[in-house]
A and B are shown apart, each in its own frame.
Chain A
């Protein structure tokens, strides 16, 4: 059954600046549902003047907003959370329409987003400083956390609803103002959130949305009144543009970037549960997430060569068997387990990697280019799951981020070799181990240089009250998104030492 689509007519998206929904003077591009290939909205690519206007509006709102008591600020967020709950199904279906993910995945994304709003409502406690009496005779010292001003939030295409919410609710709760730039590929979710923010009574200028591309990003980076940038996207942009430019303009920065995640299966792993977790990890969101596993490493720790071969075959057969049965189609069909890629260009890119894998000598065990889907939809953006065997960490498909439904299977004779494989890769976003052995698990989490570790968990996605970590080429900055760390990011510590004569 196909669920009813919440977008019936083509939407004309505007910018939300101050308390106005403003038409942009920039060119307009289509937002296309990747499953049906129908245009569902048009979005402007805003101009430099428009981002400047948004910064001005936010800057103007800041002094009053920072003086608003934290409890009053979070009441707006309580209302926003309530509105998000009321619109839960609508916003989830919008995500499926604009991104392509399955309805279960969209609802999961909505929940994760709301959880960040919930955690940010704890700001009256989370933002508290601390104090100590009598640091010297009659002298007391304390620290207060103060907001900084205006922050820019640059969202990625793969989680159009959730990712800006790793930052925006905390920024606003701590007394800052934000300008959100959604991905122009799927901006509708952020427009919907801004509508709800307006309805929740968040004052004009505190929460702004400016649609667009590079011009808006450059405008944010170059503007002196923007105090910091939160970015989630590719490593080249995160490192060479965002992080670099924020350094030059002395802005705070969180740049969460690319990934190439390894998932290890040890000989004592509970295989049935492990394979189910693998399907979600490798093929969930069609592989378009920075926590997706990309390299499956079967580890023969403590096994003879014969035992290892038998174990390896068993794992790979089960993995391929499960992957080949995944139902692909339009995410609003509740029976579908994997949706399309976000657009044709992304599909072509993934196909390029598959071709490269074949050229470099990997064994193509399951070819997802043979598209079979449920429903009569255009095949433009669809791929089925792909599995490669005999992949090595130095091959293109074993080392570069594919961002699609492609699994590369590798072999490691023991845990040490598997960890070396992980460390040979420049990324350090996430890694998982599946085992029943506490010693191996402890060794893994202790040694592996990745920000998010899963032990019998395929997607090591930190909850809203923990930082979304990342290391090496997967993260540029100091403090991470979500939870207490992002509260630190959005506030400056001011120390007061006082004595009364």
Chain B
């Protein structure tokens, strides 16, 4: 059967998973690299808040009259989740992994914001906000990486 669009429910589940995995990823970083523990824990906390924010926005705006089952142009198979850190990864490599994760997450959320523009304003707004959070994290991570050199 040829595929058509995806549902809001599927998008929300994916974003919940992304934020949960990301929160865990930064908790691991915080445990392993204690010099920057505060930053990593704040990223983890922010991801948990992002999950709550997205879920709440969805539940408060979903309506039977919205075209919620027919969001076109998104492929949820392409989302990249945070990976578990192997034991031998050095700090710089871990930071580069985190930067790539944030970069991909920023693109993903920006894309969802664009695709959901036709729904209520609060929906793209929350995805733009999360995209901005993730972009800021990337900048912070890049600055930590620069400080290593």
Task: Report A's interface with B, CB cutoff 8 A.
Answer: 1, 85, 88, 102-105, 107-109, 111-112, 159, 162, 272-273, 276-277, 279-280, 284-285, 289, 291, 322, 324-327, 334-338, 372, 374, 457-461
Contacts and interface: CB of A to CB of B under 8 A. Distances in A.
Secondary structure of the B contact surface, majority rule = loop
Contact of A109 (B8, B60, B64): B64
A107 B7 contact: no
Contact of B7 (A102, A285, A325, A457): A102
Interface stretch (B68-76, B80-88, B97-105): B68-76
30 contacts: A1-B13, A102-B7, A104-B9, A105-B69, A108-B62, A111-B63, A112-B64, A273-B118, A276-B5, A276-B70, A276-B72, A276-B118, A279-B67, A279-B69, A280-B68, A280-B70, A322-B70, A324-B2, A325-B2, A325-B4, A325-B5, A335-B6, A338-B69, A372-B1, A374-B1, A457-B65, A458-B67, A459-B64, A459-B65, A461-B64
Contacts of B64: 105, 108-109, 112, 159, 162, 284-285, 289, 459, 461
A443 B60 CA distance: 34
Contacts of A1: 13
A371 to B, nearest CB: 12
A102 B70 contact: no
A335 B10 contact: yes
B70 A103 contact: no
Interface string B20-64: 000000000000000000000000000000000000001111111
A327 B65 contact: no
B9 A334 contact: yes
Given A102-B69, A327-B4, A107 B61 contact: no
Contacts of A88: 59
B15 to A, nearest CB: 12
A405 to B, nearest CB: 13
Contact of A111 (B9, B61, B69): B61
B66 interface: yes
B75 to A, nearest CB: 13
A327 B62 contact: no
Nearest to A337: B69
Given A108-B65, A372-B1, A460-B65, 10 more contacts: A104-B9, A107-B9, A108-B63, A111-B63, A273-B118, A324-B2, A325-B5, A326-B4, A337-B4, A374-B1
Contacts of A276: 5, 67, 70, 72, 118
B3 interface: yes
- Most chain A beta-carbon neighbours within 10 Å: one of B1, B9, B59, B61: B9
Interface string B86-124: 000000000000000000000000000000001000000
B7 A280 contact: no
Nearest to A457: B65
- Most chain B beta-carbon neighbours within 10 Å: one of A88, A327, A338: A327
B7 A111 contact: no
A337 B3 CA distance: 11
Nearest to A462: B65
Contacts of A374: 1
Contacts of A109: 64
A159 B63 CA distance: 13
Contacts of B68: 104-105, 108, 280
B63 A327 contact: no
A39 to B, nearest CB: 26
The 9 closest A-B pairs by CB, nearest first: A325-B4, A108-B64, A459-B65, A334-B9, A337-B69, A461-B65, A104-B68, A334-B10, A280-B67
Given A337-B69, A458-B67, A111 B118 contact: no
Contacts of B65: 108, 280, 291, 457-461
B72 to A, nearest CB: 7
A88 B61 CA distance: 13
Given A277-B67, A334-B9, A104 B3 contact: no
B1 to A, nearest CB: 6
Contacts of A85: 59
Nearest to A106: B64
Contacts of B7: 102-104, 334-337
Contacts of A162: 64
B100 to A, nearest CB: 26
Nearest to A331: B9
A461 B63 contact: yes
A337 B70 contact: yes
A98 to B, nearest CB: 16
A190 B102 CA distance: 44
Given A108-B64, A459-B64, A284 B69 contact: yes
B36 to A, nearest CB: 35
Contacts of B63: 108, 111-112, 461
A102 B69 CA distance: 9
Nearest to A328: B1
Given A88-B59, A326-B4, A461-B64, A334 B69 contact: no
Nearest to A324: B2
A265 to B, nearest CB: 16
A108 B9 contact: no
A459 B13 CA distance: 26
A111 B59 contact: yes
Nearest to A461: B65
Contacts of A324: 2
Given A273-B118, A284-B69, A325-B3, A103 B9 contact: yes
Contacts of B4: 322, 325-327, 337
B12 to A, nearest CB: 8
- Most chain A beta-carbon neighbours within 10 Å: one of B58, B62, B69, B72: B69
Contacts of B6: 335
A104 B116 CA distance: 15
A277 B118 CA distance: 10
B13 A334 contact: yes
